[in-house]
Structure 1
Amino acid sequence: MFAAYATITIFASLLFGSAAVIYLIGHEFPKAQLDMKGLPRSWAPVLGAMLALGALGLPGGFAIPLLGTLAAYSLVLYFTGALLAHLRVGSRKLGNWALFFATAVAALGASLLYHWS
């Protein structure tokens, strides 16, 4: 079970960490996403920081199980909010969202199964 937990956790951490970097360096993709959703561009660093904290918290669960579980749970909430932002403006382009949300759910499930079952 540890191998599955470690694989999912490391993959999720890398995925969310790369997304955080894209937000934090001021890349055009996050700006376009914020514009499409009618959100201020000034939110990009905050959203990037939230992704970065989640990405750092996931592998922290190897040492402190509760930290990893809370990080995964927070990422699930983050992407639930992203879905609501998409739906609010009528966006049906949810492919990227689905990948990120499924990864966050997998990380949460793996953490719960490995540490708390």
Structure 2
Amino acid sequence: MQIAAVILSLVLALAMLASGVMKLIRAPRIVAMMEPLGVPAARLPLLGSLQIAGTVGLIIGIWFPPLGIAAVIGLVLYFAGAIIAHRRAHDRAMQGAVLFLVLSAATLTVLLAAN
């Protein structure tokens, strides 16, 4: 179970790093995806920073599990909020948020079982 926890943590960390960097640099594709949700481009660095903080927490969490668990709980809440934002805006393009929520929830489940 420990190996699965490390693998899922690393996969999620890489995904959050990529997504977070795209928000930090305000990639045009990301800005366009956020506009229908009413998220101003000025907020993207904050959202990206939260994802990168999750990345750091997951990586350190490999050696200090309580931090990894806290980080992944934060990511579950982040993506639950993202899905709520999509629903409020009546935006059906929420597959990415759903995928990341499922990956975060699976990582949380495995981390809790391994510790």
Asked if TM exceeds 0.5, the reply is yes
Whole-angstrom CA distance in 1 between matches of 2:34 and 2:95: 16
TM-score with structure 2 setting the length: 0.95
Whole-angstrom CA distance in 2 between matches of 1:77 and 1:29: 24
Which aligned runs of 4 or more in structure 1 are off by greater than 2 angstroms? none
What runs of 5+ residues in structure 2 fail to find an aligned partner? none
Q: 1:76 corresponds to which residue?
A: 76
Residue identity in the other structure for 1:30: I
Whole-angstrom CA distance in 2 between matches of 1:66 and 1:2: 14
C-alpha displacement of 1:53: 0.3
Residue identity in the other structure for 2:49: A
Identity of aligned residues (%): 31
TM-score with structure 1 setting the length: 0.93
String of CA shifts for 1:38-96, please: whole Å, max 9, x gaps: 12211000000000000111121122111000000000000011011100110112211
Q: 1:94 corresponds to which residue?
A: 94
Q: 2:22 corresponds to which residue?
A: 22
Report the RMSD for the aligned CA atoms in angstroms.
Answer: 1.0
